Chain A
Amino acid sequence: MADFMSEVARLDEETLKQIDRIQKEVAESCEFIGDQEDIDILTKQYLQDDEVYQAKISDLKRKYKKLRRTRGDGNCFFRAFGYAYLEKQLEEKTDLDRFKSAVIQCRSSLLSMGYPSFTLEDFHDTFIDIVESVNKASTSSAELLQTFRDQGLSDYCVCYLRIITSGYLQSNAEFYSSFMDGYSTIKEYCSTEVEPMYKEADHIHISALTSALGVSVGVVYMDRGEGLEVNEHVFPEGSDPMIHLLYRPGHYDILYK
């Protein structure tokens, strides 16, 4: 038994090293937020005789023109959401004041839930600084991209969007608690599935974040599911999407019309 357990411990150390290597490889192969590319690049990622995917890619090309790939590190939904929204506002600047008040409102709500202010402050300030920079006429899209490629700033945005998501789920516990399979409380779900970095986002996360910040998102699903067309689901339901994301199992990228 003891030998077996130390063997398990040794294998665990090996596994950790391997995970570390894989993470480095992923990091080197893709920026946090990539450059805008033609949707055609997807065609080459799947086999020519993969009829389902090739048909769905053709359908996607009819509906969208470009995409921006994001790094697959478990934070991709949050990073894609933050970047896509702010990039859009860099051109339009129509929604930023409302967005900023929504973010400030989320912080008040988190403080009243008992989150110590020292756990929120730095994330909040970093995020608000970025939002304000987008509101300035002098900020270029290259600068915004640079911000989201800087690990420190980019991860702080991701982290704050996670905390906002968690806060919204907890304030709307009654509605969301029926979706929490395997967790006894919404708090437990949030501290395990939402707040830790690298945890992948599910429907619940998307629903909560889009509602918390009032930013409508269209998610285009491309998977092995039935049909030869891609389906778009809008969060919150029935709204007019401000940004579009492409979902392939386990990963989100940004789409452009």
Chain B
Amino acid sequence: MAALKRLIQEYKELTLNPPEGIVAGPKSDNNFFEWEALITGPEDSPFDGGVFAAELVFPQDYPLNPPKMKFISEIFHPNVYLDGRVCISILHTPGDDPLGYETAAERWSPVQSIEKILLSVVSMLAEPNDESGANVDASKMWRENRDQFNKIAAGLVKKSLGLT
């Protein structure tokens, strides 16, 4: 029950003081363990202006363990797997280190929050970490052919707004 109480509190907090460019909340009133989030692509990034939908699934022992996060909107990004799963350090506990982050990368801890995760995802959209190979092709293109990467991202921005 502690997890539910915490999720309700975080939802209240996010509704009262929403961070810029982010909307998030439970998919339905009767299940607080599955959320949907809308994330605006940060200004001056390849994803500028897009609105990307993602889902967060919380474990029963949240906040001891982090949620899993997955984009529902199509996205092409070095730190997002092909199936939409987001791979950034704050979504992992120290014992769970799939891509060998440098030790100083910020990990999940119970004093983190949904807001912190979503803000990290916004930074990730602005500044991909091309050392993590969640999407190998995207990493490679980000490093070697930025114009092509930007073109694909611009296409996905339009798609996310329903313009294509």
Contacts and interface: CB of A to CB of B under 8 A. Distances in A.
The answer to whether A and B come from one shared complex is yes
B2 A156 contact: yes
A155 interface: yes
Interface string A142-171: 000000000110011001001100100000
A182 B103 contact: yes
Given A23-B95, A182-B104, A183-B104, A195 B2 contact: no
A2 B136 contact: yes
A9 B94 contact: no
Contact of A152 (B61, B133, B139): B61
B20 interface: no
Contacts of B5: 122
Nearest to B5: A122
Interface stretch (B25-33, B37-45, B46-54, B107-115): B107-115
A197 B64 CA distance: 7
A16 interface: yes
B106 A191 contact: yes
Interface stretch (B6-14, B121-129, B154-162): B6-14
A183 B94 CA distance: 16
Given A74-B95, A159-B64, A198-B95, A192 B104 contact: yes
Classify chain A: how many residues form its interface, as a range: 35 or more
Contacts of A159: 64, 110
Query: Which 6 A-B pairs rank lowest in CB-CB distance, beginning with the nearest?
Result: A195-B109, A118-B9, A5-B133, A196-B109, A5-B136, A12-B98
Interface of A: 1-2, 5-6, 8-9, 12-13, 15-16, 19, 23, 74, 115-116, 118-123, 126, 151-152, 155-156, 159, 162-163, 166, 182-183, 188, 191-192, 195-199
Interface of B: 2, 5-6, 9-10, 13, 61, 63-64, 93-96, 98-100, 103-113, 133-134, 136-137, 139-140
Given A74-B94, A197-B109, 12 more contacts: A5-B136, A116-B13, A118-B13, A155-B61, A166-B111, A182-B103, A191-B109, A195-B110, A196-B109, A197-B110, A198-B93, A199-B94
